[in-house]
Amino acid sequence: MTKVPLRQAGLHLRRNIANKLMWVCCILATLLAIIPLGMILYYLLLKGIPSLSLNFFTQLPAEGGMKHAIIGTLVLIAISSSFGLPIGLLGGIYLAEFGNNKTGAVIRFTADILASVPSIVIGMLVYTIVVLPRHQFSALAGGIALGIMMIPTVTRTTEEMIRMVPMALREAALSLGVSRVRTIFTVVITAARGGIITGVLLAIARIAGETAPLLFTAFGSRYLSTYINKPIASLPKQIYDYASGPYTAEHAQAWTGALVLVTLILILSAAARYATRGNSRLVR
């Protein structure tokens, strides 16, 4: 038998060069990918900090604040979560536990399509079915539009997370004389909770920054309102209005609003990461 020689000078050199080259390419690509994020954060801090003050959080536009938009965004998140989360979570549980059939495949496919529908189209849909009949832009309409957007994200992440729970854990609960449904709601969901919370937080982070579906549903407002049947302000819409206006003071406000919005989303994403970390510790 001929042995493969351990020293092959030319080949070794060529492999080393190829290796180094690929390594450099990967690093460069990674850097390029994070440059836009770095620039966004840089400009937001540069332009947003000057107008950042306590007033920004506690005052209305007349006194240079965005209290109404911050509260508006929270109200919209509350409305959309109130129905988007239950539907999304239950849908995900159904798909993971009972969805290995045709119905499941259809629902899964539909959820994937819904996830890729442009958000403005969802806004138009809600405009047609909620705003037009009542002749009234409203927080409710905005919340419905955002809630519809949450459903597919929450459904699919919940499904994935529940599927990752080992079958042995389900069987262990069943073998204690526990019904299928109770097993799901006590053991399976507990085991998958970290991942499910991550999915929920990411879905909220996603809708918190949406503008298009709110344009003709929640509409926007310069006043503080928490009525669900009245137009309501939101951070993204307020930023859009200020940024497209003629006044420098409003431009500055828009930058600060953007800084606050991005910070909010970063906090949600960080919380999502933290939740997942807890999950990997609990599930073996």
The least CB distance from residue 174 to another protein, in Å, is 6
Asked if residue 280 binds another protein (CB under 8 A), the reply is no
Asked if residue 103 binds another protein (CB under 8 A), the reply is no
List Cβ neighbours of 155 (8 Å cut-off, separation of 6 or more).
Answer: 87, 88, 89, 91, 92, 95, 111
Phi, psi of 113 (to 5 degrees): -70, -45
24 CB-side CA count, 13 A: 6
The least CB distance from residue 113 to another protein, in Å, is 28
**Taking CA 229 as the corner, what is the angle to CA 143 and CA 74, rounded to the nearest 5 degrees?**
40
Cβ proximity to another protein: between 7 and 284 the closer is 284
Residue 217 structure tokens? 């549903």
**φ/ψ bin of 232: left (φ > 0), alpha (ψ from -120 to 50), beta (otherwise):** beta
Query: Which has the closest alpha carbon to 147: 118, 123, 113?
Result: 123
Residues 187-216 that bind another protein (CB under 8 A): 187, 190-191
Q: Out of 1, 4, 102, 175, which residue is the one contacting another protein (CB under 8 A)?
A: 175
Asked if residue 273 binds another protein (CB under 8 A), the reply is no
Q: Out of 228, 252, 262, 283, which residue is the one contacting another protein (CB under 8 A)?
A: 283
Cβ proximity to another protein: between 192 and 259 the closer is 192
> Total number of residues binding another protein (CB under 8 A)?
24
Cβ proximity to another protein: between 191 and 208 the closer is 191
> Exposed e or buried b for every residue in 99-128, given b needs 16+ CB within 10 A?
beeeebeebbeebeeeeeeebeebbbbbbe
The least CB distance from residue 190 to another protein, in Å, is 5
How many whole angstroms separate alpha carbon 211 and alpha carbon 238?
9
The least CB distance from residue 169 to another protein, in Å, is 5
Give the contact letters, 82-101, x = binds to another protein (CB under 8 A), - = no.
------------------x-
The least CB distance from residue 188 to another protein, in Å, is 10
Cβ proximity to another protein: between 98 and 227 the closer is 98
How many whole angstroms separate alpha carbon 204 and alpha carbon 73?
11
Beta strands in 23-142 (DSSP E): none
Cβ proximity to another protein: between 128 and 280 the closer is 280
Q: Would you tell me which residues interact with another protein (CB under 8 A)? A: 100, 166-179, 182, 186-187, 190-191, 281-284
